[in-house]
Chain A
Amino acid sequence: MPEPVSSAAPPAAPAQAEIAIEVSGLTKSFGDRVVVRDLSMQVKRGSIYGFLGPNGSGKTTTIRMLCGLLTPDSGTGTCLGFDILTESDKIKRRVGYMTQRFSLYQDLSVRENLEFVARLYAVPHPRDAARDMIRRLGLVGREGQLAGELSGGWKQRLALGACTLPGPELLLLDEPTAGVDPKARRDFWTQIHDLAAEGLTVLVSTHYMDEAERCHEIAYIAYGNLLVHGTVEAVIAKSKLTTYTVTGPDLHHLAVALAGKPGVDMVAPFGTSLHISGRDLAALEASIAPYRNQRGLIWQHGAPSLEDVFIELMGRTPDNFQ
């Protein structure tokens, strides 16, 4: 589809067609609570961009501002080359938004839901479009079933199908895999990669670290602030975090003893092991020295996982809910 270039776009914009989302300084507050603060980001066309952050960090609000469901208090930006403030009608026609909560009609059948979406977007031959999508989703034989009666995984698959049916250029997926079993999650991500390979841009918010690692780029947002972004490797490298993994008996005592010591920024139990991380390597090593030779403990020096990085980031960010 040829991309109409907005006349208001700055002439210096580098390779307009390569950028799907570009926003700067987005701010949104509800009452006196700032939910998104001065957020800037750029998403390349055809990439999968992961949006991470704790609950209530402003992920959903940001996504809603991108597709015109919320008006930012300040800030500017374009989505698919259209101004998010003034051209939300054009954006809506080109974006598929999958809400956090299942938002198809529970009392319509699979086919009826898809036909409804097809008609809303004025897709030619809505019945055929719906039938094709049913085949592609593997829902043949279930097209007459009410959407509300489908299992969690199938609901989510149907919702994605409804989003992609009108042929959008950008998908905004808000925690699409919450409450879905691991197998369905894996299938879902395979589909996302297929769609991206076809040229679709996907912005997806998630809590799952394994999903974050499947994204081309990620951004971490906490309490309204975008803290870090880039590829997974870049984010880990930028954190300058050193992590020691300890296994052995009585890790709980060790965790209590180490928490708050100089250089120890984070102590987190992971099953039978304990992750101890810090940005100041010298101070960290000084603090753990007395325990290094404790009997039964096995210490391992390693690169931090993405989860370590995020938990540490989260610990550093002041909560704005107080």
Chain B
Amino acid sequence: MSAAQTDRRDRAASGVLWRTWAMLVKEFIQLRRDRVSLAMIVVLPVMQLLLFGYAINTTPHHMPAAVLLQEDTDLGRSVVKAMENTAFFDFIYLVKTEDEFDDLLQSGKVLFGVEIPRGFERGVRRGDQPAILVAADATDPVAASSALAALAQLAQTALAHDLNAGEPAVPPFEVRTHARYNPAASSRLNIVPGLVGAILTMTMLIFTALSVTREVERGTMESLLSMPITPVEIMLGKIIPYVMVGFVQASLIVGIGVTLFGVPILGNLFLLAGLSTLFIGANLAIGYTFSTIAQNQLQALQMSMMFFLPNILLSGFMFPFAGMPRWAQWVGECLPLTHYIRIVRAILLKGSTLHNMRYDAVGLVVLMLIAMTIAVSRFRRTLD
């Protein structure tokens, strides 16, 4: 070592630079080797931008609606047509009975139901100002409010063409709106049940995502694999404690929601508990799958984050599901949280039954089975 070299190292200012440089070079090398972190750097902002830019819409249009036509007349159809022209409604169901009408709203298949009463045409022609009933699922007040506001203008203009009367002085009929399930349009009622799902997703994912990688990282997996225990036994043993944790969390959130925020419990709590088990199981299995893919705990956490984000944005938790484009809705249907949020909201706020929620319950079962199959098959029995 030359004297000049030693000299340089002793000079404080350049020493700081050299040491910082050494650290920086090392960090870059490590970052370059960490594929998942690299992916995060690119995927996370791109995913967020695309989702916020293309998928999310806080004033949703083309929301699913049903019409109960109690008389099939020109004027009735004109009203429906005029509603469709506002671009807020898509009439995807035409029903004949009140029961069907209620089931569609109860199960969340439609957000709006329009009832054209018997004698509507005659009433209009006689100048009786008959009322059409618009029932809105107001569990999500944001989604419902702009559409309901648009209806206020409707009565004035909808039948102008049919009646050849120009702008009538008095509207020829009345629109009676009924915000079901959440008449005060309180957003808390919408958020609290959704929060049950969002929080369960986050904690369940993280708990299990770390569980297998932790064993691998600490070296305990090797001796575990050499012992007489099967992958399914390991998975069940790891998942079941967290099912209980999930129940404690869910009870806590619902309990606080009811006592502090006045969230009603209109449906059956046992039904909610049963369906919650499915949901918790699905998330645990997904977390477990990440755990078998990730090479260390950091990667497992990063994967959970990347899964959690679309869950929050596309499930209808934060933004109205009906407002999203078709492709985003399809993605949303593949997430357990989407189905669970519908279920919690429906059971707590609408008093829905299993019969109403059968579609989402089946969705949860299917997603849970898929996730568990992947988790078990991904789990390696050997170290190969």
Residue numbers of A with Cβ under 8 A of B are 64, 67-71, 89, 92-93, 95, 97-99, 101-106, 117, 120-121
Q: Is the CB of A121 within 8 A of B384?
A: no
Q: Is the CB of B219 within 8 A of A120?
A: no
Please name all residues of chain B whose beta carbon is closer than 8 Å to the beta carbon of A93 when the two chains form the complex. 228
Q: Is the CB of A69 within 8 A of B225?
A: yes
Residue numbers of B with Cβ under 8 A of A are 218-220, 222-223, 225-229, 382-384
Please name all residues of chain A whose beta carbon is closer than 8 Å to the beta carbon of B219 when the two chains form the complex. 99, 101-103
Q: Smallest CB-CB separation from A117: which chain B residue?
A: B227
Q: How far is the CA of A121 from the CA of B233 in the complex (A)?
A: 13
The 8 Å CB contact of A68, one of B218, B223, B226, is B226
Please name all residues of chain A whose beta carbon is closer than 8 Å to the beta carbon of B223 when the two chains form the complex. 97-99, 103-104
Known contacts A64-B383, A71-B382; is-contact A105 B220 (Cβ 8 Å): yes
Q: How far is the CA of A93 from the CA of B228 in the complex (A)?
A: 6
5 additional A-B residue pairs with CB within 8 Å, beyond A68-B382, A70-B384, A92-B228: A68-B226, A92-B226, A93-B228, A95-B226, A117-B227
Q: Nearest chain B CB to A223's CB is how many angstroms away?
A: 20
**Which 7 pairs from chain A and chain B are nearest by CB?**
A103-B223, A97-B226, A101-B219, A92-B228, A93-B228, A103-B219, A99-B222
Known contacts A102-B219, A103-B220; is-contact A92 B227 (Cβ 8 Å): yes
Q: How far is the CA of A177 from the CA of B384 in the complex (A)?
A: 26
Q: Is the CB of A71 within 8 A of B222?
A: no
Q: How far is the CA of A103 from the CA of B217 in the complex (A)?
A: 10
Q: Nearest chain B CB to A7's CB is how many angstroms away?
A: 22
Please name all residues of chain B whose beta carbon is closer than 8 Å to the beta carbon of A120 when the two chains form the complex. 227-229
Please name all residues of chain A whose beta carbon is closer than 8 Å to the beta carbon of B220 when the two chains form the complex. 103-105
Q: How far is the CA of A102 from the CA of B310 in the complex (A)?
A: 40
Q: How far is the CA of A117 from the CA of B226 in the complex (A)?
A: 11
Q: Nearest chain B CB to A73's CB is how many angstroms away?
A: 10
Q: Nearest chain B CB to A137's CB is how many angstroms away?
A: 17
Q: Nearest chain A CB to B362's CB is how many angstroms away?
A: 36
Q: Is the CB of A69 within 8 A of B382?
A: yes
Please name all residues of chain A whose beta carbon is closer than 8 Å to the beta carbon of B384 when the two chains form the complex. 70-71
Q: Is the CB of A69 within 8 A of B218?
A: no
Please name all residues of chain B whose beta carbon is closer than 8 Å to the beta carbon of A101 when the two chains form the complex. 219, 222
Q: Nearest chain B CB to A26's CB is how many angstroms away?
A: 14
Q: Smallest CB-CB separation from A101: which chain B residue?
A: B219
Please name all residues of chain B whose beta carbon is closer than 8 Å to the beta carbon of A97 when the two chains form the complex. 223, 226
Summarize A's interface: helix, strand, loop or mixed. Answer: loop
Q: Is the CB of B228 within 8 A of A69?
A: no
Q: Nearest chain A CB to B97's CB is how many angstroms away?
A: 59
Please name all residues of chain A whose beta carbon is closer than 8 Å to the beta carbon of B218 when the two chains form the complex. 103, 105-106
Please name all residues of chain B whose beta carbon is closer than 8 Å to the beta carbon of A99 when the two chains form the complex. 219, 222-223, 226
Q: Is the CB of A89 within 8 A of B226?
A: no
Please name all residues of chain A whose beta carbon is closer than 8 Å to the beta carbon of B227 when the two chains form the complex. 92, 117, 120-121
Please name all residues of chain A whose beta carbon is closer than 8 Å to the beta carbon of B229 when the two chains form the complex. 120
Q: How far is the CA of A104 from the CA of B227 in the complex (A)?
A: 12
Q: Smallest CB-CB separation from A174: which chain B residue?
A: B222
Q: How far is the CA of A317 from the CA of B225 in the complex (A)?
A: 33
Please name all residues of chain B whose beta carbon is closer than 8 Å to the beta carbon of A67 when the two chains form the complex. 226
Q: Is the CB of A89 within 8 A of B228?
A: yes
Please name all residues of chain B whose beta carbon is closer than 8 Å to the beta carbon of A104 when the two chains form the complex. 220, 223
Q: Is the CB of A103 within 8 A of B228?
A: no
Q: Smallest CB-CB separation from B233: which chain A residue?
A: A120
Q: Smallest CB-CB separation from B225: which chain A residue?
A: A69
Q: How far is the CA of A264 from the CA of B242 in the complex (A)?
A: 66
Q: How far is the CA of A106 from the CA of B227 in the complex (A)?
A: 18
Q: Would you give 11 A-B contacts (Cβ < 8 Å), ordered by A?
A: A67-B226, A69-B225, A69-B382, A69-B383, A103-B219, A103-B223, A104-B220, A105-B218, A106-B218, A120-B227, A120-B229
Q: How far is the CA of A183 from the CA of B351 in the complex (A)?
A: 72
Q: Nearest chain A CB to B163's CB is how many angstroms away?
A: 79
Q: How far is the CA of A71 from the CA of B380 in the complex (A)?
A: 12
Please name all residues of chain A whose beta carbon is closer than 8 Å to the beta carbon of B383 when the two chains form the complex. 64, 69-70
Q: Smallest CB-CB separation from A102: which chain B residue?
A: B219
Q: How far is the CA of A68 from the CA of B220 in the complex (A)?
A: 16
Q: Nearest chain A CB to B353's CB is how many angstroms away?
A: 42
Q: Smallest CB-CB separation from B227: which chain A residue?
A: A120
Q: How far is the CA of A4 from the CA of B382 in the complex (A)?
A: 25
The 8 Å CB contact of B222, one of A95, A103, A105, A106, is A103
Q: How far is the CA of A117 from the CA of B384 in the complex (A)?
A: 24
Q: Smallest CB-CB separation from A64: which chain B residue?
A: B383
Please name all residues of chain B whose beta carbon is closer than 8 Å to the beta carbon of A121 when the two chains form the complex. 227-228
Q: Nearest chain B CB to A34's CB is how many angstroms away?
A: 15
Q: How far is the CA of A278 from the CA of B225 in the complex (A)?
A: 45
Q: How far is the CA of A68 from the CA of B222 in the complex (A)?
A: 11
Q: Smallest CB-CB separation from B383: which chain A residue?
A: A69
Please name all residues of chain A whose beta carbon is closer than 8 Å to the beta carbon of B222 when the two chains form the complex. 69, 99, 101, 103
Q: How far is the CA of A284 from the CA of B382 in the complex (A)?
A: 49
Q: Smallest CB-CB separation from A103: which chain B residue?
A: B223
Q: How far is the CA of A106 from the CA of B218 in the complex (A)?
A: 9
Q: How far is the CA of A93 from the CA of B225 in the complex (A)?
A: 11
Q: Chain A CB within 10 Å — which of B220, B228, B382 has the most? A: B228
Q: How far is the CA of A173 from the CA of B227 in the complex (A)?
A: 14
Q: Nearest chain A CB to B236's CB is how many angstroms away?
A: 14
Q: Nearest chain A CB to B129's CB is how many angstroms away?
A: 74
Q: How far is the CA of A117 from the CA of B229 in the complex (A)?
A: 11
Q: How far is the CA of A271 from the CA of B225 in the complex (A)?
A: 43
Q: Is the CB of B228 within 8 A of A70?
A: no
Q: Nearest chain A CB to B377's CB is how many angstroms away?
A: 17
Q: Smallest CB-CB separation from A106: which chain B residue?
A: B218
Q: How far is the CA of A105 from the CA of B220 in the complex (A)?
A: 7
Please name all residues of chain B whose beta carbon is closer than 8 Å to the beta carbon of A95 when the two chains form the complex. 226
Q: How far is the CA of A246 from the CA of B219 in the complex (A)?
A: 45
Q: Nearest chain A CB to B272's CB is how many angstroms away?
A: 34
Please name all residues of chain B whose beta carbon is closer than 8 Å to the beta carbon of A103 when the two chains form the complex. 218-220, 222-223
Q: Nearest chain A CB to B131's CB is how many angstroms away?
A: 68
Q: How far is the CA of A81 from the CA of B289 in the complex (A)?
A: 36
Q: How far is the CA of A56 from the CA of B360 in the complex (A)?
A: 54
Q: Nearest chain A CB to B184's CB is how many angstroms away?
A: 49
Q: Nearest chain B CB to A74's CB is how many angstroms away?
A: 14
Q: How far is the CA of A92 from the CA of B225 in the complex (A)?
A: 9
Q: Nearest chain A CB to B29's CB is how many angstroms away?
A: 22
Q: How far is the CA of A71 from the CA of B383 in the complex (A)?
A: 9
Q: How far is the CA of A106 from the CA of B219 in the complex (A)?
A: 10
Q: How far is the CA of A70 from the CA of B218 in the complex (A)?
A: 19
